[in-house]
A and B are shown apart, each in its own frame.
Chain A
């Protein structure tokens, strides 16, 4: 894994956005060659999305030949509910860039048959040729997407009942009213994300520090599902200093020492 340690939330968003930008440009997508991006929602990737929008507006990047697959969506809230992940993606990314709707894929939490919806999502990823880069976050309980503690590390896209911790963490998006928070969600599985050719996990804030420790310094364990990525050949963890507070000093020093090498990955690319 590469562990990228930056000073604060804003730097994490910027580094991650530059990484994505460079990946897309180097891939050189075209009408027969789409770049397939997996995307998360929530507070953590917002800074990254803002930067991506900036890069698009400056003309540094285009999403014309990019396809996206989101990680998850709540079950049972209307698609245009302000807290649905459809709304999140529309308001925080899609409406600001040049991506075509038919190239975006978000699970439909109101599908008549939820199991079929999940299976069909897996089929769509396969049909697109697999995910080139899956971007994700981490929950305070170490979950990736909605793969709550105890989720199989071999799981695929499916319906999940949300853990109490997750419902509490999400309450702030529903006026602090626990009764309004959805209790079920559709989510990609751990193995679905593991299938991606590359994975980038964003972690910011001291409340995620323990989960990061469990994810990268302890063993692979289904109680901390992000730990599965220790067995992925191409994982990048991008975090701020606060998120490293539970790591060994040795780990942090080692990866800080690598920053001059890792920063080359986000250098502006020469124009074609």
Chain B
């Protein structure tokens, strides 16, 4: 017979009347949480003879793992690439606001910047768990400066760099530190990139290919050296060509090692990628699709004109233009908008749409044992949604951190 001893005296919460995303399906099951983690109720029943202390009635809502945004440059007037007097405060503000979009973990992203910015910001932004104060920071995403001049996009040309000192030395000199860095986007065609990619991958830092003119073989070699992500597929890279698919060809490449998956970021705001292109990518490689917002400072601000740094931006609906022009200045869609748009544009299932924002980014970052799933033992970072995939409530470590 099972033992009568209790493993823990911590209170147990049982979410009832809900549909949970488990084993890639929405199932009518209760969700049990103790000490911030998903609990196995069968084990609790037979081993500990335990039961719930508290029940939360979800009124038929969907419970999905909290969303993870691996590319977000700021929002609500905050720009992560600015070394303001209150870097931490800025990150914290965004972290708090994105709870409303169902995001429970994120990578504050820095675009190409001069070394002093990296030194200042990286000293302030630390990996830390989320909670009522805001979504958790899993580390920073450094998008640049080791990128291609031709594909710099909106990045400032004067701060682009190459691996002229041989590789890692350039990195350390530019960034100052690799502590609290979760991801680096670079262009693999830059000479000496191989050692950098290998070294970063060995340190557990995700290497992403982007802002690059690499051809498919260069991209494949980078993957073999350890690269595992593509930054905003289609944007800032060579277009797909049937005799050299370039980086886009990684989605169906047969040179990717068997035990590895190449993930790719998609900004599914209906603006940055044509829906047909989104569908081609999704159908070619559905399990690698990672939804990202790539949100800029203007995300979350009301429609109208805003002065952000040296620029004046005009927000009209989901479009952010350089004021007075029709030039897009970045994306302002929120993660939950991206999930809804992705589902509608691709015709995918609810489960696939939710996994693209939770399971896949967790797998990309190598943390799917504790994030991005509702498996027993995983962190209880949850998002409660209605059938139209609107966020109704957000939980971190089993604690409610936002409710509509």
A residues lining the B interface (CB < 8 Å): 79-80, 86-87, 90-91, 94-95, 100-102, 105, 108, 120
Set of chain B residues within 8 Å of A105, measured between Cβ atoms: 1
Instruction: Take A95-B30, A108-B1 as given contacts and tell me if A101 and B46 are in contact as well, using a CB distance cutoff of 8 Å.
Output: yes
* Contact assessment for A102 and B49 in the assembled complex, using a CB-CB cutoff below 8 Å: yes
- B283 close to chain A: CB less than 8 A: no
> Which of B37-45, B207-215, B231-239 lies at the binding interface?
B37-45
* Contact assessment for B45 and A80 in the assembled complex, using a CB-CB cutoff below 8 Å: no
Instruction: Take A95-B41, A108-B1 as given contacts and tell me if A90 and B51 are in contact as well, using a CB distance cutoff of 8 Å.
Output: no
Q: Closest Cβ of chain B: how far from A85's Cβ, in Å? A: 12
Instruction: Take A95-B30, A108-B1 as given contacts and tell me if A101 and B45 are in contact as well, using a CB distance cutoff of 8 Å.
Output: yes
Set of chain A residues within 8 Å of B30, measured between Cβ atoms: 95
* Cα separation A59 to B218 with both chains bound (whole Å): 66
Per-residue CB contact flags for chain B residues 170-211 toward chain A (1 = under 8 Å, else 0) read 000000000000000000000000000000000000000000
Set of chain A residues within 8 Å of B46, measured between Cβ atoms: 79, 86, 90, 101
* Contact assessment for B45 and A90 in the assembled complex, using a CB-CB cutoff below 8 Å: yes
Q: Closest Cβ of chain B: how far from A259's Cβ, in Å? A: 35
* Cα separation A37 to B46 with both chains bound (whole Å): 18
* Cα separation A171 to B46 with both chains bound (whole Å): 26
B residues lining the A interface (CB < 8 Å): 1-2, 4, 30, 40-43, 45-46, 48-51
* Contact assessment for A95 and B49 in the assembled complex, using a CB-CB cutoff below 8 Å: no
The 10 closest A-B pairs by CB, nearest first: A101-B49, A90-B42, A101-B45, A102-B49, A108-B1, A86-B46, A80-B42, A90-B45, A95-B41, A94-B45
* Contact assessment for B1 and A95 in the assembled complex, using a CB-CB cutoff below 8 Å: no
Instruction: Take A95-B30, A108-B1 as given contacts and tell me if A100 and B49 are in contact as well, using a CB distance cutoff of 8 Å.
Output: yes
* Cα separation A87 to B46 with both chains bound (whole Å): 10
Chain B, residue nearest A120 (CB): B1
* Cα separation A22 to B2 with both chains bound (whole Å): 31
* Contact assessment for B42 and A95 in the assembled complex, using a CB-CB cutoff below 8 Å: yes
* Contact assessment for B51 and A100 in the assembled complex, using a CB-CB cutoff below 8 Å: yes
5 contacts between A and B (CB under 8 A): A79-B46, A86-B42, A86-B46, A100-B51, A102-B49
* Contact assessment for A80 and B43 in the assembled complex, using a CB-CB cutoff below 8 Å: yes
- Other A-B contacts than A90-B42, A101-B49, 20 sampled, CB-CB below 8 A, are A79-B46, A80-B40, A80-B43, A86-B42, A86-B46, A90-B45, A90-B46, A95-B30, A95-B41, A95-B42, A95-B45, A100-B51, A101-B2, A101-B45, A101-B51, A102-B4, A102-B49, A105-B1, A108-B1, A120-B1
Set of chain A residues within 8 Å of B4, measured between Cβ atoms: 102
* Cα separation A95 to B41 with both chains bound (whole Å): 8
* Cα separation A102 to B41 with both chains bound (whole Å): 15
* Cα separation A79 to B50 with both chains bound (whole Å): 17
Set of chain A residues within 8 Å of B42, measured between Cβ atoms: 80, 86-87, 90-91, 95
Q: Closest Cβ of chain A: how far from B28's Cβ, in Å? A: 11
* Cα separation A221 to B30 with both chains bound (whole Å): 46
Set of chain B residues within 8 Å of A86, measured between Cβ atoms: 42, 46
Set of chain B residues within 8 Å of A91, measured between Cβ atoms: 42
Set of chain B residues within 8 Å of A87, measured between Cβ atoms: 42
Set of chain A residues within 8 Å of B40, measured between Cβ atoms: 80
* Cα separation A79 to B45 with both chains bound (whole Å): 12
Residue in A90, A95, A101 whose beta carbon sits within 8 Å of that of B50 in the complex: A101
Q: Closest Cβ of chain A: how far from B351's Cβ, in Å? A: 21
Chain A, residue nearest B45 (CB): A101
Q: Closest Cβ of chain B: how far from A69's Cβ, in Å? A: 12
* Cα separation A95 to B40 with both chains bound (whole Å): 12
* Cα separation A102 to B49 with both chains bound (whole Å): 6
Chain B, residue nearest A103 (CB): B49
Q: Closest Cβ of chain A: how far from B203's Cβ, in Å? A: 37
* Cα separation A86 to B49 with both chains bound (whole Å): 13
Q: Closest Cβ of chain A: how far from B57's Cβ, in Å? A: 13
Set of chain A residues within 8 Å of B1, measured between Cβ atoms: 105, 108, 120
Set of chain B residues within 8 Å of A95, measured between Cβ atoms: 30, 41-42, 45
Set of chain A residues within 8 Å of B50, measured between Cβ atoms: 101
Chain B, residue nearest A106 (CB): B46
* Cα separation A94 to B46 with both chains bound (whole Å): 10
Q: Closest Cβ of chain A: how far from B311's Cβ, in Å? A: 56
Chain B, residue nearest A117 (CB): B1
B1, B30, B48, most chain A CB atoms within 10 A: B1
Set of chain B residues within 8 Å of A80, measured between Cβ atoms: 40, 42-43
